[in-house]
Structure 1
Amino acid sequence: MDFDLTEEQRLLKDSVDGLLADTYDFETRKKYAALAGGYSPEIWAKFAELGLLGLPFAEDDGGFGGGAVETMLVMEALGKSLVLEPYLATVVLGGGVLRHAGSAEQKAAHIPAVVDGSRTLALGTTERHSRYDLFDVSTTAKKDGSSFVLDGEKAVVINGGTADHVIVTARTAGARRDKGGIGLFLVPANAAGLTRRDTATQDGTHAAEITLSGVRVDADGVIGDPEGGLAVVERVADEAIAALAAEAVGAMDELQTLTVDYLKTRKQFGVNIGAFQSLQHRAAEMFVALEQARSMAMLAAMTSGETDAVERQAMASAAKVQIGRSAKIIGQGAIQLHGGIGMTMEYKAGHYFKRLTMIDTLFGDADHHLAKVADFGRLVAA
């Protein structure tokens, strides 16, 4: 299999790396985090100018027709710079739902605005009781003429506090944990009855608690089959896992480099601590974990477009397991090899570990996906 990038992909990688090298050092990131919403509108506009926001959308919809590999390259670069802007929430999650299930009218109404940077999106699937089960939905959507009326709550909605539109799952039929009867609804952030409480998470990004109380969604806000939305959400979640895996690789790569550089310069007993064999072994273990994660991130990206849902989910789960394990090895190793400075707010090593910890929990942690991998193995054996 050929893993070489095409000329266009290399240009994309160089462009993103160059932009972030010029605009996103660690001190500047702190200033962006202090802005309203927790990110920089100016950087978001630069993403739009560079074409990053339209990358995965079809050319017919106003995008650039990129695929999972292009998304992987962008997300890895974002991970290296600990970027705060809501690329995952808007382009991968909300945009993914529109790509896979939106009508022609919905795509025309929203995708061009996403591409030019004037509109951000969020996807709300998690509820307080649901943990990692996408089908565990108690938010209701009751038919009222040609509209639906939504009632319920969504928890930890990434970018939910500043998004212009929020896509939520809601139950139109069945019991709370049934896999059928789940719809997807596109709700303007200023809709009557929608309230949201924004908060900064431990890694510096933002998420919101969203309450829906008698929120009316007209027919043009219903995405796809109002009882068959789970398959769409699962597909988007698998694509998000591939994107998160790439982001994690970028963060782990930078953290590994940062740690090795520290070992080469920090002196103890009159010599660089990198001369101590035990520390060399620890750094080598971190490098092995990084390369294992990189391989699985590439596999997740290449299989994220798989039409066989079982095959796609199995590969996504396997990648998530390795990403979680590698993040733990590299994150803990980096903090321990740095010593006390690795835990300070002023130094970036700890911030990378925080982001890696958050990535592990998004769409299921390593333990959750290890159980899924075991289930997939039993399905294959059967």
Structure 2
Amino acid sequence: MDFALTDEQRMLEETLTRLVTDQVSPEQRRLMLGAPAGTRALWRTFSELGLLHMPFSEEVGGLGGDGTDLMIIMQSLGRGLVPEAYLAGLVLPGQLLALTASDKQQARWLAPLLEGDHQLAFAWQEYSARYDALTISSQAIQRDGQWQLNGRKEVVLNLEAAAATLVTARLDNGKLGLFMVPAGVSGTSTRLYRTIDDRPAGDLTLEHVTLPFENCLSEDVSTALAEVLALGRAALCAEAIGAMEVACDQTLAYLKERKQFGLPLSTFQALQHRMVDMHLHLEQSRSMAILAATSLDLPSSERDYKIAAAKAYCGESARFIAEQAIQLHGAMGMTEECYITPYVKYLVMFDHYLGDSDYHLETVSSLLNAA
């Protein structure tokens, strides 16, 4: 297969590389993490460059980017650990809107999202479900021409900055519905926090939340949900590749600089073997990320099999590279001031976003058995 990028894709990659290098240094990133999401100039820059439109089809006002375009964007964001909620606040909720919302709903929520006027969130995880998006205990019932929602969603990324949250809930007929819950609506309460890798998240509790009938985006969202989660997992794999690249590069640079017994650490054969192992995991993960990005248009069972395999392998590789980076940096690798530390935190947490390695290995096993 020809894995070469087109001229347009190379331009996109070069533009993003310059952008991340110029605007997301470690010092700038720390300042961004302390600022409210709505005040960051970087999101406006994303809008001006067309990055917010890129992953969406032309039918809904996007630029018609495919899985490879999204992979390029996410890999560049991963290199700088860009704190903007590109995946959680734009791609996942936006793609769900594109697949399920009516023209009126898209005009109300999707069009402003693509213009950078607001961000959204997607609440699908629940405490007892263990990454299974279809095992949902939240309930939605119709009453007097309105919807009433009850339940609790866990680890909702970008919850604080979201103008509204897309929430999944079980209907009386057993199917899975999708609802738009505006921020601050009566009956909702949140518990906000930061994940280990400093991403803003929160738990969303819904107690007798009453919504207009038009706030229901879909009364059977299972197929669209599977498609969007597959897209999200492929995007995460690409983002992790960018972070793994930097972790390997920074660890090698440290070994060349740090001396022991009068010699650079990079001259010791045992440490060279460790670096080789890190790069092997990186390159094999890169191949799996490419497989995931190019599998999005396949039939659902084949798509889910390949993307689950990619997410499982990338998750294991991310943990390996994180652990080796800490070992090779020594005690200073555990300090907040060390350049490698946020990358280690991200690589550890990456495995848990949208399903960890164990969950996806079980998915691969079940799909093989079914075949």
TM tier relative to shorter chain: over 0.9
Among 297, 304, 318, the alignment partner of 1:327 is 318
Post-superposition CA distance 1:67-102 (Å, at most 9, x none): 111111111011100111111112221011012222
Aligned equivalent of 2:185: 191
Aligned equivalent of 1:279: 271
Kindly report which structure 2 residues correspond to 1:65-214, keeping only aligned pairs within 5 A, or say none.
65-173=64-172, 180-214=174-208
TM-score by length of 1: 0.94
CA pair 52-322 structure 1, distance change in 2 beyond 3 A: same
2:351 maps to 1:360: yes
Partner letter of residue 301 of structure 2? Answer: V
Shift of 1:289: 0.2
TM-score by length of 2: 0.97
Rounded to whole Å, the distance in 1 between the matches of 2:145 and 2:89 is: 28
Rounded to whole Å, the distance in 1 between the matches of 2:66 and 2:185 is: 33
Rounded to whole Å, the distance in 2 between the matches of 1:168 and 1:327 is: 30
SS of equivalent residue, structure 1 residue 191: coil
CA pair 234-60 structure 1, distance change in 2 beyond 3 A: closer
Among 268, 278, 285, the alignment partner of 1:293 is 285
Shift of 1:18: 1.1
Aligned equivalent of 2:337: 346
Shift of 1:42: 1.1
Aligned equivalent of 2:14: 14
CA pair 28-40 structure 1, distance change in 2 beyond 3 A: farther
CA RMSD of aligned residues (A): 1.3
Aligned equivalent of 2:250: 258
SS of equivalent residue, structure 1 residue 77: helix
Q: Which moved more, 1:244-253 or 1:350-359?
A: 350-359
Post-superposition CA distance 1:242-279 (Å, at most 9, x none): 00000000000010010111111111100111000110
Shift of 1:40: 5.4
* Paired residues of 2:32 and 2:40 also in contact (CA < 8 A): no
Aligned equivalent of 1:177: none
Rounded to whole Å, the distance in 1 between the matches of 2:314 and 2:48 is: 31
Q: Which ranges of structure 1 fall in alignment gaps of 5 or more residues?
A: 175-179
Aligned equivalent of 2:236: 244
SS of equivalent residue, structure 2 residue 294: helix
Rounded to whole Å, the distance in 1 between the matches of 2:62 and 2:138 is: 32
Q: Which moved more, 1:100-109 or 1:125-134?
A: 100-109
Matched residues, percent identical?
39
Q: Which ranges of structure 2 fall in alignment gaps of 5 or more residues?
A: none
Post-superposition CA distance 1:360-379 (Å, at most 9, x none): 00111111111211111112
Rounded to whole Å, the distance in 2 between the matches of 1:312 and 1:100 is: 18
Rounded to whole Å, the distance in 1 between the matches of 2:150 and 2:339 is: 41
Partner letter of residue 185 of structure 2? Answer: A
Aligned equivalent of 2:63: 64
Rounded to whole Å, the distance in 1 between the matches of 2:270 and 2:262 is: 17
Partner letter of residue 180 of structure 2? Answer: L
Post-superposition CA distance 1:138-167 (Å, at most 9, x none): 111111233211111111001012200100
Rounded to whole Å, the distance in 2 between the matches of 1:67 and 1:102 is: 21
Partner letter of residue 338 of structure 1? Answer: H
Rounded to whole Å, the distance in 2 between the matches of 1:258 and 1:103 is: 47
Aligned equivalent of 1:311: 302
Post-superposition CA distance 1:109-134 (Å, at most 9, x none): 22221122111011000112112111
Post-superposition CA distance 1:224-258 (Å, at most 9, x none): 2x1x2122212111110000000000000010010
Rounded to whole Å, the distance in 1 between the matches of 2:31 and 2:235 is: 25
* Paired residues of 2:318 and 2:350 also in contact (CA < 8 A): no
Rounded to whole Å, the distance in 1 between the matches of 2:181 and 2:3 is: 40
Aligned equivalent of 1:217: 211
Q: What is the aligned residue count?
A: 371
Post-superposition CA distance 1:313-369 (Å, at most 9, x none): 101110011101111221111111111111111112121111111110011111111
Rounded to whole Å, the distance in 1 between the matches of 2:26 and 2:283 is: 25
Rounded to whole Å, the distance in 2 between the matches of 1:157 and 1:205 is: 10
Rounded to whole Å, the distance in 2 between the matches of 1:149 and 1:118 is: 28
